[in-house]
Amino acid sequence: MSLALEFRPKNLNEILGQYELVEVFKKFITMQKLPHSLFYGVAGSGKTSFARAVAKEFGLDFFEFDGGNFKLEELRKILDNYKNSLYKPLIFIDEIHRLSKTQQEMLLIPMENYRCIIIGASTENPYFVLSSGIRSRSMLFEFLPLGAKELEILLSRVQEKLKFELEDEARNFLLKSSDARAMLNLLEFALVLDKQNITLANLKKLRNGVNSEGVSSKDTHYLLASAMIKSLRGSDVDAAIYYLARLIDGGESADFIARRLVIFASEDVGNADPNALNLAVSTLNAVKNIGYPEARIILAQCVVYLASAVKSNSSYMAINDALSFVKNNPPLEIPNYLNNNHIERKNYLYPHDFGGWVEQKYLSRDLKFYHSDGLGDEKRLLENLNKMKNCFKR
């Protein structure tokens, strides 16, 4: 048996990290009420182990599937076997984001009727990859990457049981692994080379480099991403590329990085350069189909473009101001001529009948949310607005 399996947590008390989630699920178990759940987070953060521990402590039969080769017929057989039973099986689907749209839809009825408990695990953000039907029937729980503190606890457990010597440099090397599984796999084969002593020299024979803390530390994970975004906003190409390299070298997923570039393209570049959003979305689509090492080139191209682009947050500020107004004020009446259910709809002025623009009120009171300095392409858009008003004004 591999070390990763041998030292897999047997119960919730042995779970490392995810301490808040442990307390939440202990409460579920005490109350004997368990929701359908979606566990999402980086690989090696303990999602499968957590689901197994929950099933054991709740007293549920555990059935594990892989989203990549999931077969609905197998699920139906399990559900049929429990048709007249007072007990419900726990169905765990790893990589649940790999299910097709049809497969996801087929889960909705058994989830709705609670014929089983569904727990799905994914390294992807469920808001991007799972249907609204699956999400609305589930509780979503984010699993944070294990930090050096948790890895050190696990390493001490293994050393205590297997009784081997461990050099300080070797310990530090192991603790810079990207996750628990990676650390245990490296340790397992180092023990093949020497079952009594773990040395840095032997570890480097198996893994020449170490994973930096881009993924293994929650704080650094977000700090690096934030530093990259701030560098992009400040138009410092080299700094942005440096932090991108740190994220990639730390084992950060290309999807995670690309999603943040998409957000940045709209929030910080906006209509000053509309092509920025097109490029960022294309980058996200590309890296979903092209993994590392080639994905680094696509990400770098996007980062260089975004850092070099003219910046504007006018659209971002406009929607924030509009949402704030909507939340803090009573709703405005829609003018009668804009209301398709009102007799005055016949008074609506169709702009195309007037050459493309006609003076007409669209709000029952004057409001101003969008403000622009007219940078980049926003200058052209503002000129379009002014030109239409001046040329067609009655």
Asked whether residue 317 is domain-assigned, the answer is: no
| 222 three-state secondary structure | helix
Residue pair 192/225 in contact by the 8 Å Cβ criterion? no
Q: Is the pLDDT at 217 greater than 80, yes or no?
A: no
- Residue 193 is predicted with a pLDDT of 92
What does DSSP assign to residue 270?
G
**CB atoms < 10 A from the CB of 97, how many?**
20
**Does residue 53 lie in a domain region?**
yes
| DSSP line for 219-285 | HHHHHHHHHHHHHHHTT-HHHHHHHHHHHHHTT--HHHHHHHHHHHIIIIIGGGSTHHHHHHHHHHH
Q: Which of 84-88, 107-111, 115-119 has the lowest mean pLDDT?
A: 84-88
CB 129 within 8 A of CB 67: no
Structure confidence at residue 393 as a pLDDT band (50, 70, 90): low
- Give the per-residue pLDDT at 12: 92
Average pLDDT over residues 349-372: 89
- Are 19 and 97 in the same domain? yes
Question: Do both 331 and 354 map to the same domain?
Answer: yes
Q: Are residues 115 and 127 in the same domain?
A: yes
Domain boundary among 308, 342, 375: 308
pLDDT at 239: 95
pLDDT at 209: 53
Residue 125 has pLDDT above 60, yes or no: yes
Confirm whether 367 is domain-assigned: yes
Domain CATH for 63:
3.40.50.300
Q: Are residues 250 and 335 in the same domain?
A: no
Domain contains 134: yes
Do residues 336 and 357 share a domain? yes
Closest listed residue to residue 16, CA positions, set 42, 38, 47: 47
Which of 143, 177, 194 represents a domain boundary (last residue)? 143
Do 232 and 267 belong to one domain?
Answer: yes
Q: Does the reported pTM lie above 0.75?
A: no
Whether the pLDDT of residue 178 is over 80: the answer is no
* Mean pLDDT computed over 246-252: 83
pLDDT at 235 over 80: yes
| Whether residue 35 is found in the same domain as residue 122 | yes
Cα 299 from Cα 317, distance rounded (Å): 27
Return the structure tokens found at 7. 């030292």
* 244 and 176 co-located in one domain: no
- Domain housing 220: 215-308
314 falls within a domain: no
Classify residue 321: in a domain, yes or no.
Answer: no
Residue 315 lies in a domain: no
pLDDT tens sequence across 279-296:
999 999 999 888 888 999
More confident position, 63 or 44:
63
CA 295 to centroid of chain Cα atoms? 18
Q: Is residue 173 assigned to a domain?
A: yes
pLDDT of amino acid 215 = 44
Q: What is the pLDDT of residue 128?
A: 78
Q: Decide if 56 contacts 50 (C-beta within 8 A).
A: no
Both 122 and 77 in a single domain?
yes
Residues 193 and 63 in one domain: no
Q: What is the model's pLDDT at position 205? A: 86
Tell me, yes or no, whether 68 and 108 share the same domain: yes
Question: Which pLDDT tens digit goes with each residue over 28-42?
Answer: 999 989 999 999 987
In this model, does residue 78 exceed pLDDT 50? Answer: yes
Confidence band, pLDDT 50/70/90 cuts, at residue 101: confident
- Which residue, 160, 178, 211, sits at the end of a domain? 211
